[in-house]
Amino acid sequence: MPPTRSTTPNLIVIMLDSFRQDHVGVYHQGRSTFEGIDPCRTPNIDGFAAQSVIFENAYPEAFPTIPVRTALMTGQRTLPYRPWQPLLPSDVTVAEILRRHDFVNGLVSDTYHYRAPGMNFHRGFHAYRWVRGQEYDPYESGPARRKLDEYVNDNYPVLWRDRIAQFLANTDAFTRREDWFAPHVVEEACAWLERNRSHKNVFLWIDSFDPHEPWDPPKQFDHYTDPAYKGRRLIMPMGGPATSWANDDEIHHIQGLYAGEAESVDFALGQLFQTLERLGYYEDSIILLLADHGHPLADHGKFLKGADRLYNELLKVPFLLRLPGGRRGGTRASAMVQYHDVLPTLFDLMGLGNETHDMHGRSFRPVVDGESEVHREIGISGYHAGADRVIRWHDAQVARPWSLILRPEGEPDELYDLNADPRERDNRIDADHDIASRLIARFGPTYFRRQRPVLQIKGVQGAYEVASGSVE
């Protein structure tokens, strides 16, 4: 039996890196994402979702890895003024705040960007555990035992070959599915949860870098690729137009590797969910499972994240909030929320709303409790240093969400009706430029890297100038 607990719930955050929403069963509901590839199997996440409030429109504000985590840990916007950078001495984080409320805080991660010198994301945690070797982490200095040429084609330059060689060296010893990174992160997290169960309150941030590339899933999960494929195992896609460095079979193979990597993460999470239930955390904890962003898989011609890839495949993420006892489990929420809203909401649910007055975000607890179906009508996302921006608008009255992608000077902007066109193929910027004008007017120049707002219509560039408006 768990010990006598505080009335304040524990907090557990499960962060997954680069996990697309449409690769989680509860979201894709049996529909395949790519032709010829089976729908991704995520039975453990789906089981957790059945006990959680399922958010369908939770959007990061600023990409990629570090800016997203900064917003989540501080409740502050980062897009207009904050690049990829360490935590500053002036930042006040969730760990530091909860420490003042007598929480014991733990961080378990294989996201090696946390560990980089001076990043300071472990600040405020009582214990932090790093799982080494992900991606290009300089973990092994000996050469890889596997042949590099089996993992690249002739189009890969030296820089990319060196990166992949580092990853191969880091993972040469992996043989069992338990050897991969996500199972190690879960194992460390489970050990911490058990060791610290006697504390009055605990906060654990679990951060799995998978399914971030490179995608080299254990053989048990490598069943989304074509068994007849005879090409090279391209575990690390490059940027730029995919057809400039890979053929159609290679592109399809890489997409299958990603699906296998996603399923392997779900497998690892099974042990975590069992441990949380066995130790009683399901009864007295708020547990949030989310991804920092999705991942383009050549849906619009390119792999990898990038400032010009602001489509659903990057923006749409799994976001599952489990309340103590599984209250309101399986409920779906269509309300739009953004990541600087997350910490104010968690604190509100924990009875610590008085810690949120100076945060940019605002609590969406009424959505969590089923008292409202609306939070934000409009939101903006992008890369701090990028010229591109995306504005998402969810008109609650007509239930018709729109996406406006603003491009650098000289490139046509894009407007998509997300209900009619969720894959964002039919650019409505000409036909519905009045809607685009209304959306861009909601944000002033501070939110943009290019000096406007001037809406760029195909063939009518500069024809629609709009005045700056207010933002929520």
Quick: pLDDT tens for 129-186: 999 999 999 999 999 999 999 999 999 999 999 999 999 999 999 999 999 999 999 9
Q: How many whole angstroms separate alpha carbon 340 and alpha carbon 62?
A: 10
What is the reported pLDDT for 3? 52
Q: Is residue 381 a contact partner of residue 57, using CB atoms and an 8 Å limit?
A: no
Tokens of 330: 């399986």
Count of H-run helices and E-run strands, the chain: 13, 15
Determine what percent of the chain is predicted with pLDDT higher than 90.
89
Which whole-number Å values give the CA distances from 223 to 36, 40, 213, 244, 261, in the listed order?
12, 10, 18, 26, 10
What is the reported pLDDT for 410? 86
| Of residues 43 and 460, more confidently modeled | 43
Q: Is residue 263 a contact partner of residue 217, using CB atoms and an 8 Å limit?
A: yes
Does the pLDDT at position 253 exceed 50? yes
Quick: pLDDT tens for 199-233: 999 999 999 999 999 999 999 999 999 999 999 99
So where are the chain's domains?
10-368, 387-465
What DSSP element (H or E) covers 315? helix 312-315
Q: Is residue 237 a contact partner of residue 259, using CB atoms and an 8 Å limit?
A: no
Determine what percent of the chain is predicted with pLDDT higher than 70.
93
- Cis status, amide bond into 366, omega within 30 of 0: no
318 Cα distance to chain centroid: 8
Tokens of 157: 């330059």
Beta bridge partners of 454: 465
What is the reported pLDDT for 400? 81
| 3-state helix/strand/coil string of 85-109 | CCCCCCCCCHHHHHHHCCCEEEEEE
Q: Is residue 424 a contact partner of residue 402, using CB atoms and an 8 Å limit?
A: no
Residue among 389, 408, 355 at smallest CA distance from 74: 355
What is the reported pLDDT for 6? 74
Spell 392-401 as b/e; 16+ CB within 10 A means b: bbbeeeeeeb
What is the reported pLDDT for 96? 98
What is the reported pLDDT for 467? 38
Average pLDDT over residues 354-370: 97
Q: How many whole angstroms separate alpha carbon 425 and alpha carbon 428?
A: 9
Quick: pLDDT tens for 365-410: 999 999 999 999 999 999 999 999 999 998 766 568 999 999 998 8
DSSP state of 131: -
Tokens of 115: 């560990």
For the segment(s) 10-368, the CATH number from 1.20.1440.230, 3.40.50.150, 3.40.720.10, 3.40.190.10 is 3.40.720.10
Tokens of 45: 């996440």
Does the pLDDT at position 125 exceed 90? yes
Which whole-number Å values give the CA distances from 111 to 108, 137, 185, 210, 453, in the listed order?
9, 9, 10, 9, 37
What is the reported pLDDT for 470? 40
Reported residue count of the chain is 472
Same fold: 10-368 with 387-465: no
Does the pLDDT at position 347 exceed 70? yes
Residue range 387-465 forms a domain whose CATH class is alpha beta
Which pairs with CB-CB distance under 8 Å and at least 24 residues apart come from 32-41? 33/259, 33/297, 34/252, 34/255, 34/297, 36/226, 36/252, 37/224, 37/252, 37/255, 37/256, 37/259, 38/223, 38/224, 38/259, 40/224, 40/259, 40/262, 40/263, 41/263, 41/266
Does the pLDDT at position 455 exceed 80? no
Which whole-number Å values give the CA distances from 354 to 154, 347, 348, 470, in the listed order?
58, 8, 8, 26
Beta bridge partners of 383: 63
Q: How many whole angstroms separate alpha carbon 423 and alpha carbon 159?
A: 33
Does the pLDDT at position 2 exceed 70? no
What is the reported pLDDT for 397? 65
Average pLDDT along the chain: 93
What is the reported pLDDT for 456? 63
> pTM value?
0.94
Does the pLDDT at position 463 exceed 50? no
* Secondary structure (3-state) at 10: strand
Which pairs with CB-CB distance under 8 Å and at least 24 residues apart come from 28-36? 33/259, 33/297, 34/252, 34/255, 34/297, 36/226, 36/252
Give the range among 70-74, 90-94, 281-285, 440-444 with minimum mean pLDDT.
440-444
Which alpha helices (H) appear in 369-444, and where do they start and end?
A: 433-440
Tokens of 260: 């296998």
Does the pLDDT at position 250 exceed 80? yes
DSSP state of 240: S
Quick: pLDDT tens for 53-82: 999 999 999 999 999 999 999 999 999 999
Which alpha helices (H) appear in 128-202, and where do they start and end?
A: 158-171, 181-195
Quick: pLDDT tens for 11-54: 999 999 999 999 999 999 989 999 999 999 999 999 999 999 99
What is the reported pLDDT for 452? 52
